[in-house]
Each structure stands twice: as C-alpha cells, then as structure tokens.
C-alpha cells in the first residue's frame, strides 16, 4: 500500500502534467489536501512530505486536529506555518471559531455568514480569505448561492472589513463524463469573469477533486481540493 508521501507526489505529478497539457503554468494550480476524517498523524505525514494547505469540513474535528498538529509541530519542516481552509457547510452559530482558526473559507453562500465572519475575525490576524460557494449544477441537495445571485452577494461581501473576497468554489454534480465535468467548471469560470467585469477583483477558482482534476485544471482551476487520492478512502463510520 502506498504511503501518503507517495500519494502526494503522484497527485502533484498529475497536476503538473494536466496543467502542461492545458497550456498552463503548473505553478498556477495550488493543491489543497482535504484531510477530513483523517487524524493529525495523517496531516503530519503530509506535512513532512512538504504539504502545507489543508482543507476541513467538520468544525469540531478540525479544531481538535489543528490543536493536535500544532502540539506535534515538526520544527525542521519547511512547510510551516500551515494554512487551514474551511470548506464545509457553515452554521451561523459556528462562525466565531472559523473566523479565529482558519486562513480561508471556501463555503460562504449568504451575506449573514459573511457578516458574522467579518465581525468575528480577530484584528491581529490577516484578512480572512473568502470564496463564494456556487451551486453551479442547481442541485437541491447542495449548498451554494445560485449563479444568478452570485454577483449581488460578491458585491455585499467585497466591502466588508477583515475579509478578502478571493474567488468562487463549486462542487458540480458528480459525473464520469469529462465533457460534462468541463461544462460545469467552464460555467464557474465564466461566472468569475462576469463578476470581475463588474469591477470585483477575483484570483481564485476553487474547483476540482480527486475524480475530476483533469477537467477542472483544463478549465482554469487555481486550487484543487484532493483528499482520497492522497489519504485513501474515508471511513465515515469512525
């Protein structure tokens, strides 16, 4: 069975190859290692292999893990300090610890959440980087602002203090058809371009996971969120 370090290097190699195939500079695509359901030991193994960006979906699990990883800090590892990204659904009563412990939030889909994050971001920390989650496929089961409402939400968030609106995130409807994958990612890219044309600067497209990396990178992703291909299959029963 391959190690997390081996898996990480394989994913990075795929990102590099897919970017080159698409005529893009591989350095334009960042890797977010999605460590949800995996323990601090798995994160530390990835850190030892050079990874520094980690995505978490479940708040209490993430807070415990951040504390455990910090307590076990490998002083000699060049990847420190780590960058924690919250990528899961956000309940309004959970915004304070997210504002206090994360560098990025990818899953903002309403003004109320953004206002709370803005108010609760500690003054001594840099601005909290924000991506709007867009329900690009219109699935009722998915979180996210509808594409037609994304510009208005972006305009509301762009003026809030202690937040830095960086881009858009989406989890399109699952498909094995690469052309269908690409259509969804292209819609998100075009939405980003229309928001930028309205005068709001964006530099991030958070799109693409283990199963659709190639399509996402081909359509302009700047940050891919990969978990299974790095850490292995998840056991949600745990």
Q: Give one DSSP letter per residue of 112-137, joined into a string.
A: HHHHHHHHHS-TTSPPEEEEEEB-TT
Q: For residue 238, what pLDDT is reported?
A: 54
Is the CB of residue 43 less than 8 Å from the CB of residue 65? Answer: yes
- Write the Ramachandran bin of 93: left for phi over 0, alpha for psi from -120 to 50, otherwise beta: alpha
Q: How far apart are CA 224 and CA 18, in angstroms?
A: 12
pLDDT of residue 95: 98
The alpha helices in the chain, defined as continuous H runs, are 4-21, 40-48, 59-71, 95-101, 111-120, 147-158, 178-197, 213-218, 228-231
pLDDT for res 77: 47
The upper half-sphere exposure of residue 229, i.e. CA atoms within 13 Å in the direction of its Cβ, equals 20
**CB contact at 8 A, 168 and 191:** yes
pLDDT score at 234: 81
The predicted pLDDT at position 70 comes to 87
Predicted confidence pLDDT, tens digits, the chain (238 residues): 789 999 999 999 999 999 999 999 999 999 999 999 999 999 999 999 999 999 999 999 999 999 999 888 654 444 568 999 999 999 999 999 999 999 999 999 999 999 999 999 999 999 999 999 999 988 888 899 999 999 999 999 999 999 999 999 999 999 999 999 999 999 999 999 999 999 999 999 999 999 999 999 999 999 999 999 999 988 766 5
The secondary structure of residue 27, as a DSSP letter, is: G
What confidence score (pLDDT) does residue 124 get?
Answer: 95
pTM, whole model, 2 decimals? Answer: 0.95
Q: What is the Cα–Cα distance from 82 to 52, expressed in whole angstroms? A: 5
For the chain, which residues make up each domain, given as ranges?
4-231
CA distance 186 to 82: 30
| Separation between Cα atoms, residue 224 and residue 209, nearest integer Å | 6
Domain 4-231: give its CATH code. 3.20.20.10
Tokens of 131: 């991506």
């Amino acid at each position: 069975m391959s190690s997390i370090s081996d898996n990480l290097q394989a994913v990075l190699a795929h990102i590099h190859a897919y970017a080159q195939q698409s005529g893009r500079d591989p350095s334009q695509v960042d890797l977010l290692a999605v460590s949800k359901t995996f323990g601090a030991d798995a994160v530390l193994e990835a850190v030892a292999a050079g990874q520094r960006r980690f995505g978490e979906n479940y708040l209490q699990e993430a807070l415990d893990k951040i504390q455990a990883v910090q307590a076990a800090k490998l002083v000699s590892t060049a990847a420190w300090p780590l960058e924690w990204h919250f990528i899961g659904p956000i309940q309004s009563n959970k915004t304070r610890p997210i504002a206090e412990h994360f560098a990025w939030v990818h899953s903002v889909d309403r003004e109320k959440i953004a206002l709370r994050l803005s108010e609760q971001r500690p003054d001594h920390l840099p601005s909290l980087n924000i991506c709007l989650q867009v329900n690009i496929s219109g699935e009722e089961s998915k979180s996210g602002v509808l594409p037609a409402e994304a510009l208005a939400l972006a305009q509301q968030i762009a003026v809030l203090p202690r937040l830095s609106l960086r881009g858009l995130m989406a989890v399109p409807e699952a498909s094995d058809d690469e052309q269908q994958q690409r259509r969804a990612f292209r819609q998100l890219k075009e939405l980003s371009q229309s928001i930028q044309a309205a005068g709001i600067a964006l530099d991030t497209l958070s799109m693409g996971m283990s199963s659709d990396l190639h399509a996402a990178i081909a359509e302009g992703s700047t940050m891919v969120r990969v978990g299974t291909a790095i850490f292995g299959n998840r056991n949600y029963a745990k």
